[in-house]
Structure 1
Amino acid sequence: MKYILFEDFSGKPVPFIFPNRVDHADMREQMPYTRVISAGQVQLDEDGFKCFGGAPELDATTREEDAAIIRDFFTQQAEP
């Protein structure tokens, strides 16, 4: 899978995960957020999420903290 980590309107990171057949640039065009923080590939294995690579068309690469941000989105409780 691919991902793009955007900065939302309040300044928080928001990950979008999508199939490999979709280009990073095409997905970027669909999102309302202005700032791309990072982008690349993501996979889930027995040790958790792993992020790697980048998206040259967005001038973005992965960062060490990306996997933890994605994990937290899957594990955080819904706000009341």
Structure 2
Amino acid sequence: MKYIMFEDFSGDPLPILFPNRIGYLEFREQIPYTNVLSAGYVQMRPNGISCHGECKELSTQPRTEDAQIIAAKLEAPEY
């Protein structure tokens, strides 16, 4: 899957995961948040979540903390 890490309106990182068949720019245009913090690919691996690759369309790549942020959001989703 692909992901884009946005900065939400309160300044917190917000990852959004989406299928590989959707382009980064196509997806980005649908989201109201201004700042893109990072983007790339995300996978579930035996030892946890892995973020890798790059997003040339948005001129960004995964950050070291992205996997931890995504894992935390999946483990304790906000309602």
Task: Tell me, yes or no, whether TM beats 0.5.
Answer: yes
SS at match of 1:61: coil
Alignment TM-score, normalising by the size of structure 2: 0.95
Aligned residue-pair number: 79
Identity %: 49
Tell me which amino acid in the other structure corresponds to 2:40.
G
List alignment gaps of at least 5 residues for structure 2: none
SS at match of 2:29: helix
List alignment gaps of at least 5 residues for structure 1: none
Alignment TM-score, normalising by the size of structure 1: 0.94
For residue 48 of structure 1, report the CA deviation from its aligned partner. Answer: 0.8
Moved over 3 A (4+): none
> 1 or 2, which has the higher strand percentage?
1
Aligned equivalents of 2:78, 2:35: Cα separation in 1: 25
Tell me which amino acid in the other structure corresponds to 1:46.
P
Query: Matches of residues 1-80 of structure 1 in structure 2 within 5 Å?
Result: 1-76=1-76, 78=78
Identify if the C-alpha distance between structure 1 residues 75 and 28 changes in structure 2 by more than 3 Å, giving closer, same or farther.
same
SS at match of 1:60: coil
How far does the alpha carbon of each residue in 1:32-74 deviate from its partner, in whole angstroms, 9 at most, with x for none?
0000000000000111100001111101101110000000001
Aligned equivalents of 2:67, 2:59: Cα separation in 1: 19
